[in-house]
Every structure is written in structure tokens, then in C-alpha cells.
Structure 1
Amino acid sequence: MQDLPDDLRLITLNCWGLKYISKLRRERITEIGRQLSIASPQPHIVALQECFTQEDYKNIRRQTRFVLPYGKFYHSAAFGGGLAILSRWPIEGSTMYLYPLNGRPTAFWRGDWYVGKGIAHAKIRYGPAAKQVIEVFNTHTHAPYEGGKPNDSYLCHRTAQSWEMAKLLRGATERGHLTLAMGDFNMIPLSPEHQLITSLAPVRDVWRVMHPDSSLGPAHHPAEKARGRPVPTAEFNIQENGASSDGPYNTWRWTKSQQKMLGPGKHPTTVSPDTPDRLGKKLDYIFASSGDIQALGGAWVVKNVNVGMMMRHPELGCSLSDHFSIEATLTFHPLPEDQSPSPALSTGPNVDHLSNGPTTPAATDTLPRPLPEPTLGSAETAGADSTLRNGAYLQLQSPPPSLNHEPDSSSRAQLAFFLRHKHNSHNYASLPPTTYDTILAIIQTYASREQSQLTWRARRFFFALFASVACLVGVWFVPSGRNYISFILVLVSTLGLVAGTVEGLMALLFFRSELNALREFHWEVRNAKRALLAGDSGGLGGKGLSEFDAQ
């Protein structure tokens, strides 16, 4: 075992590696692997999403084998979940947890059901003591195809997926392990899905630790518009808001005519930092716990966080993915001298090494600023200088607003927060009862929809079966010499039987399975609410419902 680390460098990146769909996939994946291998500081743990093929995974592994010698590619469903975890230290164990609710097979053009989305889990040991373990949970949740509108049929899926993630995170933290949730969560900050994770599990969004005033979505989102803030610039959205998706710096969000300016031998096209960014948003996250404070003699706190992997492909000129990465450094902050650590850590060597972590205030990594000329989208930014001066757009200040000695950003303040809220205890804050009622209403609405779908598909099955038999019987009554009519009846019977069989299997297998998953989810939420009202603030368990209440 190598010396115990003072810092942990983390990276999460959606690689956009859909086979046959993602453009320039092999070239981009190769460059992603190369950039990870030369990254400074070197990463300790990397979580990848949309890495769907073994070819791409092995490509990245070959290039990062000296920096990240351990890795795990996770298999799932028909096409795989696209999840992989790379590590500096050995992976002692791993599990692939499939989400009980994850899309529908009828929406084959969306593909979420076919890739079997879930949570990839890896148990990584970085030291010899019992609690010197990192549990990493990597995920790519269901995409918000319908924009999170009140009638969004996938809202229940994303809510259930956040609930599942919170359960796993809570279990890992109760084991006393440093717990990380990384990935593309397809949610905006402080959304209901975001609050489920941070309220039901003792983890914090590392970006909001360092940037508590960062945006709540793109500029046009109601939650962000309600704050009355000007439209941010591209640079502000990167440095302050952590907008890892849909911003003007990413070439895959450019128009086709703009993308034609890229390619081998063409002059580099850059984006002005002052370009207004109305669409950029944060979808990628790193959530982190503190570890067992008493056993470790201190806590893992956030040192810095930044948006990364913004460089272009050196030959093609395109962005390496349609997402940028979120990168964070956790640092170990020891307990004050008057709070002696538990003897649980004295079971192996290097004990003193852990108790001498750095105590420097948090800082942010410096990102390379794009060259201001030539600029892209000059028509949109014409006259922007005057509007910038008038405060129509949020510009990047120096230092950024959230780093002006916010009380929660320093290592000492974070340690005090963990101790004050007993982050390792079973008494972590829960959701208010009204939130549970909202989740139950979402479940009921979606369950009614699926029950209706099951009923109609079952009826179509029986209708198709009756029509198929009727066509076959009709063949007997076709006049001689009219063989073409017999052929048509047999063809209709066969096609109808095939269609009916598909409808029957969907009703019997998929919709019944989903309704059973909804019943389980409904029971868990009701049980959590009952436990909360009964005085158990755990929020995910406690005094259970009776069998009568569970019906």
C-alpha cells in the first residue's frame, strides 16, 4: 500500500460514446484517454458515462494504465449502461445496481430501457485501516426528454432513481466509508431530484460547497428567472455556475454551419468569454461525504472544484464530448487537538500521516481562458460591450463571487459543519412531510397511467387473437379460384397474431413489472414518511407500516 493521500482528485465525464450515433467517437475517446493520462494534478478516481463499448473502454485504459492502473467496465441490459470507473487503488468489490424504473421498451428511439441504466458501485481501499475505504457510485440517470413539465411522464422515473441513489449513499456512509456519487444526473441544482439526494443521504454537492450562489438552471428556467439575475456570460457560467452542458464553448452545441469551420488544417475558431450563455446548465455532479470523522481523526472536505476537459481535439478542432467534466479535489482536514481520534485507526502503519492533512483555505483551479479572437456568434454578441457594462450579463469577477471567503468554503468551516450536523450519525436531516406527499402523488399519477396502458394492451392482445382466428376461419369460406383472398387473410392473421403477441408480452411482463416496482417505491416512501412522523428522523426507514397500511 502506497503512502496515504492528503488529497483526492476526482473527475466525472460523460464521454458521449454512443456507437454508430456519436460523431468522431473513436478520435474523441482516444484524446479523452490521453488527456486523463497527462492531467495535472493526476486524478485518483475517474467516473465515465456513455462509454458503451469495450473498445472505447480498453482504449482509455491503455492510455491511463500508469496513472489509473485499476478499472471496471460495467455490463447492463442489452446494450450496456455505458458506465466505467478508473482508480489509482485496487477495486476490492463492485456491483451494478439496475434502476427499478428506467424508461419504457416502447420508446426504443430513446434507448434508456435498452441500455439498462443504473448505478455502478466500486469499493476502493486507499489505506489499511478499517475505515480507509472509498465507496464510489457512478450513474447516468434517465434523460429529461419532456423537460420536467408537470405532465412529464418520466418525472416519476427520475424521482425513483434519486431515491435509489440516496438509499445506497446512506448505507455506505453508515458503514463509515468516504462516499462519492459521481455522474450525469440529468437534473439541475436544487431540483426535487437534487434535494432528495442531499436530504436523504449525508452527502453534499461539492460544487455548491464552493459556489453556494451558483445558478439553479439555464437562464430561461423558471427557478433561475425567479432570482432576477442577468443572463450569464459563457465564462461566468463555467467558472461560477459549473455549466458542464449546452454552453457556447462546446462545439457540439454549435450550428452545422459553425461546425463546418472546424476540421484538420482549418484556423482555430474560438469563443469570446463575454458571449451571452442562455442555455448552459449543470447536469454533472460530484456528491461527497466526510468519511468517519472519529475513526479517521478528521474529515474529507472540498478543497477546490472546476469544470474541466474543455480543450479541443488537436487535429479535428472539436470538443472532446458534448459535456465538459466536473473535477474536484478533496483534502483531509484533521480534528482539532482537543478532539482526539478514535483508536480504531491504530490498526496499521501510516497512522500519523493521515492526521497531518493540510489546513489551507479552499481555492479554485485556474482554467485556461479561450482566446478572444476570432469570435464565434458575432451577430449575437454585436454591441455586447455596452450591455456588459450596463450589467445586462453576469460577468466573471476576480475572484468569483462564491470564493470571496464564503463561510462554508474553508476546510475548517466544512469540518465544523460536519461535526455540527453529525454527518456520520443516523440522525441526518430528512425531507418535510409535504415532500413525501408530493412524491406519493407523482407515483399515484404514473401508476394510473401505466395501469391504463396495461389494460389497453391486454385488450388489444385479445382483439388481435380473435381477429387472427377469424381470418383463418375465413380462409375456409373463400370461393375457389380466389387464392389471393386466402393469401391476404393468412397474412393479416399472421401479422395480427405477431402484433397481439407483442402487446400481450408488454402487458404481462413489462407493465406488470413496472407496476410492482411502483408499489415497492410507494411503500418505501410511505414508510419513510411514517417513520418521520413517528420521530425517527432517518427518513429512509424506522418503524415500518403494518401489513394493513402497506396495502
Structure 2
Amino acid sequence: MQDLPDLPDEINLVTLNCWGLKYISKLRRERLAEIGRQLSIASPQPHIVALQECWTQEDYQSIRRQTRFILPYGKFYHSAALGGGLAILSRWPIEESSMHRYPLNGRPTAFWRGDWYVGKGVACARIRYGPTPKHIIEVFNTHTHAPYEGGKPNDSYLCHRTAQSWEMAKLLRGAAERGHLVLAMGDFNMIPMSLEHQLVTSLAPVRDVWRVVHPDSSLGPSHHPAEEARRRPIPTAEFNIQENGAASDGPYNTWRWTKSQRRLLGLGEPPVTISPDTPDPLGKRLDYIFAGSGDIQALGGGWVVKHVNVGMMMRHPELGCSLSDHFAVEATLAFHPFRQSRPSPPPQPESHSNRDSSAAPTAAGTHDGAAPTTSEKSTTDSALHNGAYLQLQQSPTPSFAHLAETTYPSQLTSFLPSPSSSPAETLPSTAYETILSLIRTYTAREERQLAWRARHFLASLLVAAACLVGVWFTPCGRNYVSFILTLVSTLSLAAGTVDGLMALLFFRSELKALREFEWEVRNARGLLFRGGGGGAREGDGAGDWDWDWD
């Protein structure tokens, strides 16, 4: 085994969606090269970096060259026809790696979206940071299916993201049961406390690191029903960054500006700034770091969340644009010895709605961004004065010393096994019915698609045969008619064959994956209701018996 440095007291983590789609993402080479440079000079130095949408070997190698002295180990993951766009960089050796494809993974018929063709999945890396069997970090980097239909109740891709969160939870739970420190990082395309989010945090012994430090942070953009139900004012851009962790869709990111605003950027152009008090109703959190604790008993302590922030907000030094259409999420885990003592109660988060909304924010001056118009600034100033926007106060979060004193013991205690509960009991029982309803709805859709495409294939055969018969009986001298009939026959048969292959290969395969997912959910629900005894049975909603004969 290679020589390892001294055991770390802290582990610095970074996850970033690089927006590096070949031929599509603008200024891709320049931006990703600068991402590599910024990682190499970051303070504190990152120990593990998870990248998403790093699609090309060229961009990956560019980042590797610049970070090779602080992150000497790395892995670029290959998947499907176009690749998964996932990469993991590490300070410590990567002992094992694998690419786990999601069973439900988009649709080839939606070729303009590309999720199926890139083979969405989980990049898995087993990293050794010390000599003992428990000095292992298992990293799971993912980019789940995009919410193209906005996550609405009739969103046909919601079943994909739910199944992917379920799959991620299984991977995390297995790694935690091996006694390793578990990290899940990436662009999960979900909002906090959604069903997908609850699956990860309830079915696996991990915590959303942002909500550990900011338990009262937002549940989505201001217009989302879950956030609207909290009846909180619209946050400012700075509040969304510092308190809500909104690394996506905020006004600080130049790729979310209008075309007229982006024209102000470029070589030789002066920097464009935005006030931290700018309203930010659309900013949200899609990028996450989930962390476990490691084997507390074997290590004599565990890993706790010390710090978390939104990072990589700098601009390209020459082009003036943001380095990606996402900002990074950065976190620091600290090793904390475990003492068998009663932990202090965690600090109660201060309700932002009860704060003095007329207090001046600490952020003075401006951040990089698009400058608001005079009328917008006047409206914003008035709204801020009247308390219509959430803004930063003098102490948005507890100090690190206060966090260490109050939350570290309780963080560790939350990971210790309790004989009276199991991880599944933390997931609401109604969630299982919700998932089963999603599966049934999506299964019905796919069955209709399979039937329609199978009928189209049969119809194309009849059309092709009829056209060929027509060619046979075409009178002499009407060659153009024969040509048209032959062309129609060929095109019809080609289109029908594609649909026939889709019905035979893709839709049947997806329906089988749905059956497996449904069985797992029913089985988990049965275990919950029966207190952990037995699996899915006939008569308790577990479905029909499946007999496997050798």
C-alpha cells in the first residue's frame, strides 16, 4: 500500500456542475480550464472534488493537470454512448471505482434531452485516507435526471428521480454498513425536503450538510408551494447564498442573465456588479453534499459537519462570465471524538420571519452580477425598508466554536443505532403510497407507449407490403409512381422497425425495472408495518408471487 500522510482532522469537499456539454455549452474550454485553476489555488485546499457535466477527456485532463499537486488521484467515468459527465478528484488513493447505471434512466425517444444517451448513474470511488480497515471514504457522485417538466404533479420524469434517489439510498446504506465514511455529492435536481430528498436522508444514515448548519433554510424557490406555505418574504440574492445555499438560478450567475445583460460582458469590458439586496425569487438548491459519520465505535469518534458554503462564485478573469451555470457547494467535515456523555441540545434556529427586517445587511458594496435599473433599485430599497425581503443580519449563522460545543455531540449521537427504531421508520408511511402511485402512473404510461409502438410496427409492415404490391401492378411508363411507392415502403418500414425495437427492447426493459422498483417499495413498506419481520407477502399489497425455477 502506498504511503499515506498523517490522518486528517478535517476533510474539505467540493461538488460542482461544470456545465461542460460539448458543442452546446458556451465558452466551455475557457471556463473549465479556469475551474481547474481555481481549484488548484483554493483555500482551504480541497481533499475530494466531485464534478458533474465534465463531458470530455480534454476538459478533464485540463483540470487534472492544474490540480495534480493537491489532488494527485482522479477518475473520469465512462457510461453509455455519450458518457456520464462525472469525475472524482482526490488527495488520497482511489482503491476501487465503479459506474452504477440507474435502472430508470430517461427515454431514448426524448433524444433532444439526452439523459438516456449519457447513461445517468452514480460514479463510485473507494478512497483510503489511513491504514486501518475503517479509514475508508466511499464517495458517490451523481447527476440525476433533469426536471424538464418542472416537478409538477403530472411530471412524467418524477418517477425517474424518485427511483434514482431510492437507488442512491441503497448504495449509501450498504457503504455505511461496512463502517466507512459515506459521501454523496452532486447535482440531484431536487429541492430540500422533497420526496427524493427524504428518501436519501431517511433510508440511509447520512445528513444533508447544509441543513445541519442551516436547519431553517428554504425549501425551494419563492414560488414553490412548500416555500410559499412558510409565508416568508422573498429573499435577497445575498441571503439566498449565505443562508439558503441557492447555488442555482440566482442573479449572481451571469448565465441566468438576459441576452442584453450578457452583452455587457467580454474581453476588455469593465466588471458588472449587482447589489446583494437584489430580490432573488428563483434561486434554489439543486446541488448537495450528504455525509455520514464513519464507524464511531471503531474510530473512537466520527465525522461531523463543521462548515458549509456556496463557492466558485468568481468570474472568469478575462471573459467576465461565471465559471458555470451552477455555483459549487463546499463543506468541511471535522473528526470529533465520541464521549459517552449526554450531548448538549442543538441550538434552536432563529426564525427569520421574527428578525428585525429593517436592520441593515452586513454585506456592503456589491457582488459580481447584473446591475439593477433605477426603478428596480427604488422598488427594492422600499421593499427592504418595509421588510418585504429576507436579508442578512449581523450573525446569520452560529460561530464555529458555538457549533462545535453544541452540535458536534448531537450529530454523532444521531448516528448511533437505537434498538427501538430503524432507518425506515424515519420515512413517513404515506411516502410509500406516494411512490407506489408514481410507479403505477408511470407504468400505465409506458404500457400505452409499448402497445402504440407495437401497433405502429405491425401497421408499417402492412403499409410496406401494400406499397410493394402497388409497385408490382404499376403500369409501364409510370416509373415515378413506382419510385414513390418504394420510397413510402422503405420509410414506413424504417420508422416502424425503430418503434418495434423500442417496444421490444426499451419499453419492456423499463417495465421490468419498474416491477423491481415496485417490489422493493412494497417490501420496505411491509417491513415497516410488521416491525422488521419478513418480506413482501401475497395478500398484504406486495403483489403477486413470482416463482423462479432453475
| TM-score (structure 2 length as normaliser) | 0.91
Q: Aligned pair in 2 of structure 1 residues 51, 200: CA closer, same or farther (>3 Å)?
A: same
1:76 corresponds in structure 2 to 79
Offset of residue 60 of structure 1: 0.2
SS in 1 for 2:15: strand
Residues 251 and 369 in structure 2, CA contact (< 8 A), matched pair in contact too: no
1:526 corresponds in structure 2 to 522
Offset of residue 390 of structure 1: 1.0
In structure 2, how many angstroms separate the alpha carbons of the residues matched to 1:158 and 1:269? 37
- 1:465 aligned to 2:468? no
1:391 corresponds in structure 2 to 387
2:366 partner letter: L
1:507 corresponds in structure 2 to 503
For 1:207, which of 186, 190, 210 is the aligned residue? Answer: 210
Deviation digits for residues 313-359 of structure 1 (CA, Å, limit 9, x no counterpart): 000000000000000000000012779xxxxxxxxxxxxxxxxxxxx
1:264 corresponds in structure 2 to 267
Q: Aligned pair in 2 of structure 1 residues 373, 120: CA closer, same or farther (>3 Å)?
A: closer
In structure 2, how many angstroms separate the alpha carbons of the residues matched to 1:5 and 1:243? 29
In structure 1, how many angstroms separate the alpha carbons of the residues matched to 2:228 and 2:241? 18
Q: Aligned pair in 2 of structure 1 residues 156, 412: CA closer, same or farther (>3 Å)?
A: same
For 1:66, which of 65, 69, 72 is the aligned residue? Answer: 69
For 1:172, which of 175, 180, 183 is the aligned residue? Answer: 175
- 1:422 aligned to 2:413? no
For 2:303, which of 286, 300, 303 is the aligned residue? Answer: 300
Deviation digits for residues 484-539 of structure 1 (CA, Å, limit 9, x no counterpart): 10111111110111001001000000000000000000000000011111102xxx
In structure 2, how many angstroms separate the alpha carbons of the residues matched to 1:120 and 1:10? 16
Q: How does 1:479-518 map to 2 (within 5 A)?
A: 479-518=475-514
Moved more, 225-234 or 413-422: 413-422
Q: How does 1:348-497 map to 2 (within 5 A)?
A: 371=366, 376-378=371-373, 379-400=375-396, 402-403=397-398, 409-410=403-404, 413-420=407-414, 422=416, 427-430=422-425, 431-497=427-493
1:279 corresponds in structure 2 to 282
Q: How does 1:4-403 map to 2 (within 5 A)?
A: 4-336=7-339, 371=366, 376-378=371-373, 379-400=375-396, 402-403=397-398
Q: Aligned pair in 2 of structure 1 residues 244, 369: CA closer, same or farther (>3 Å)?
A: farther
1:344 corresponds in structure 2 to none
1:469 partner letter: A
| TM-score (structure 1 length as normaliser) | 0.91
2:82 partner letter: F
2:353 corresponds in structure 1 to none
2:536 corresponds in structure 1 to 545
Runs of 4+ in 1 over 3 A off after TM superposition: 367-370, 372-375, 404-407, 409-412, 423-426, 546-550
SS in 1 for 2:383: helix
In structure 2, how many angstroms separate the alpha carbons of the residues matched to 1:488 and 1:173? 64
2:65 partner letter: R
Offset of residue 83 of structure 1: 0.3
1:350 corresponds in structure 2 to none
Residues 301 and 411 in structure 1, CA contact (< 8 A), matched pair in contact too: no
In structure 2, how many angstroms separate the alpha carbons of the residues matched to 1:86 and 1:317? 27
2:352 corresponds in structure 1 to none
In structure 2, how many angstroms separate the alpha carbons of the residues matched to 1:179 and 1:117? 20
Residues 306 and 400 in structure 2, CA contact (< 8 A), matched pair in contact too: no
Q: Aligned pair in 2 of structure 1 residues 228, 452: CA closer, same or farther (>3 Å)?
A: same
**Structure 1 unaligned residues grouped into runs of 5+:** 340-360, 362-366, 537-541
Q: Aligned pair in 2 of structure 1 residues 320, 390: CA closer, same or farther (>3 Å)?
A: same
1:346 corresponds in structure 2 to none
1:414 partner letter: Y
SS in 2 for 1:382: helix
Offset of residue 437 of structure 1: 1.1
SS in 1 for 2:498: helix
Residue correspondences, number = 518
2:372 partner letter: G
Residues 247 and 329 in structure 2, CA contact (< 8 A), matched pair in contact too: yes
Offset of residue 135 of structure 1: 0.3
Offset of residue 377 of structure 1: 2.1
In structure 2, how many angstroms separate the alpha carbons of the residues matched to 1:294 and 1:404? 28
2:267 partner letter: P
SS in 2 for 1:16: strand
SS in 2 for 1:403: coil
* Percent of matched pairs sharing the same residue: 72
Offset of residue 370 of structure 1: 6.5
C-alpha RMSD over aligned residues: 2.1
Deviation digits for residues 191-223 of structure 1 (CA, Å, limit 9, x no counterpart): 110001001001000000000000000111111
In structure 1, how many angstroms separate the alpha carbons of the residues matched to 2:130 and 2:399? 35
Residues 254 and 370 in structure 2, CA contact (< 8 A), matched pair in contact too: no
SS in 1 for 2:105: coil
